[in-house]
A and B are shown apart, each in its own frame.
Chain A
Amino acid sequence: MKRIELTVTRLIPAAPADVYDVWTDAKSPGGPWFGCERVILNPVVDGLFFHSVLHEGKTWAHYGRFVRFDRPRVIEHTWMSEATGGVETTVTVTLEPKGNDTQVTIRHRDVPDDELGRQHQEGWTYMLGAIADRFGARQ
């Protein structure tokens, strides 16, 4: 199966330590775990997590193992779900100070190429079926 790497980034108006603490606290609003249907989180190296989330009309169970904590710079964990085909993927969250703010970068590696997911979206057909492939967009 073809695998890809995703990177999303955002400037967050807070200090890296504040962002780090929210990101590693299941009970903190604004964090990635908050508001999930069910969360089990043990944020230590080799600690495990489980959470189920409603995403695009479906409940997804996710499992993973924390592999790196470097407050307030890096949080890294593995990530497995039905969407990864049961394969262990890796999520690395990097926090860089930018003045009074923090540049948050999420790098998700070894993610299966989600062709089916794309096709749910109106308008993707031409973009992805015709143009992207034909033009060699995934260079």
Chain B
Amino acid sequence: MIAADVDLVFSAVSDPTRRRILDRLQRGPARVTDIAAPFDMSLNAVSKHVKVLESAGLVRRSRQGREHVLALDARPLAKVADWANGYERYWTKRLDRLEAFFVEKRKRS
């Protein structure tokens, strides 16, 4: 998992509204309108939060007739959890250095 993906997931869960949406979807798929119901904000505002979660890959959207149904996808969380291990950060840094070395070498040749 690259750092940009990790940032995207972190950014997505940094907001309490989005965490509540994830908590709701943990219980099962739900329509966008049902997700929005408990919140004291417009459907449009909730939809924006949902889009952030979709961008991070945490929520999948499907259509059932005219309804949009949202479902949780926990796979990015698993990837972040693995990335969080110190050794994954360690090896990522080693690859950063290896890549920088050869990028520079190829530029010179």
A47 at the interface (CB under 8 A from B): no
Which single member of B74, B81, B91, B101 contacts A108 (CB below 8 Å)?
B91
Asked whether B87 lies within 8 Å of A111 as measured between CB atoms, the reply is yes
**Which of A37-45, A65-73, A115-123 forms part of the interface with chain B?**
A115-123
Count of B residues near A, CB < 8 Å?
Answer: 34
Q: How many angstroms between the C-alpha atoms of A19 and B57 in the bound complex?
A: 33
Q: How many A-B residue pairs have CB under 8 A?
A: 111
Asked if residues B72 and A135 are in contact (CB atoms below 8 Å), the reply is: yes
Task: Tell me if B14 is interfacial: C-beta within 8 Å of chain A.
Answer: yes
Q: Interface size on A (CB < 8 Å)?
A: 41
Report B40 CB to chain A, min CB distance, Å.
Answer: 22
Q: Cβ of A46 < 8 Å from any Cβ of B?
A: no
**A12 close to chain B: CB less than 8 A:** yes
CA distance A106 to B22 in the complex (A): 32
A126-B13 contact, Cβ under 8 Å, with A114-B87, A138-B78: yes
- Cβ of A136: which chain B residues have Cβ within 8 Å of it? 74
**Cα of A13 to Cα of B90 in the assembled complex, Å:** 21
Chain A CB within 8 A of B67 CB: no
Q: Is B28 an interface residue (CB 8 A)?
A: no
| Cross-chain contact A4 with B85 (CB below 8 angstroms) | yes
A137 touches which one: B19, B74, B90, B94 (CB < 8 A)?
A: B74
- Choose among A22, A121, A132 the residue that contacts B98 (Cβ–Cβ < 8 A): A22
